[in-house]
Amino acid sequence: MNGNIYKIRAGTLTGRSSHSETSGMKSGKIRVLIVVSDTPLAMMMVFTLTRAGCDVDAVHTGKKGLKLACQQRFDLIALEITLPDADGRELCSELKQRHISRKTPVIFISASPLPEKMADAKKLGAADYIIKPFDMTELIYKVIYHARVCGETEGIAA
């Protein structure tokens, strides 16, 4: 990824810019933001989640992820803990303080299986934690589960 926002449709990866601020859950599609520095992993995640029916955006830096998350509503954010320009834990804390992303579930992605890292993620407000390498079926399950649970909770409160 060269710093652009990517969208994948019908197996083709294309750059795009989006200005939508609506939640995908209202249209039936789960909107997912992927913030992962590893290009092959990000592309596989985008492809897999798109094939599962999600609307997916992907960026490779924390700065771009934060900017996009502040401009648009997402149903879920998949966030790598170790990014080239940011600490994913700090980024998660910042996302949880912003109105537009405050209730958006965050799934951390990390190579570290240490229980204390997982506990830290929960303290920061992360909904889940996926350890690399992971099966893409696990990713689909967790994305759909957390996006739906959060969407239903917000629907009841509204």
In the chain, domain spans: 6-157
Residue 15: per-residue pLDDT: 35
CA–CA separation, 27 vs 3, rounded Å? 28
Residue 133: per-residue pLDDT: 93
Lowest-pLDDT range of 34-43, 45-54, 116-125: 116-125
Task: Let me know if 152 is exposed, middle or buried by CB neighbors in 10 A (0-12, 13-18, 19+).
Answer: exposed
Please choose, from the candidates 103, 6, 101, the residue with its C-alpha nearest in 3D space to the C-alpha of residue 55: 6
Please choose, from the candidates 107, 36, 15, 81, the residue with its C-alpha nearest in 3D space to the C-alpha of residue 44: 36
- Its pTM stands at 0.79
* Domain 6-157 architecture: 3-Layer(aba) Sandwich (3.40)
Q: What share of the chain is helix, strand, coil (3-state, %, to 5)?
A: 45, 20, 35
Token output for 46: 């985008």
Residue 18: per-residue pLDDT: 38
CA–CA separation, 5 vs 135, rounded Å? 24
Per-residue pLDDT tens over the stretch 65-81 = 999 999 999 999 999 99
C-alpha dihedral sign at 153, 154, 157, 158: negative
Which residue type sits at 112? Answer: S
Q: Residue 81 gets which letter from DSSP?
A: S
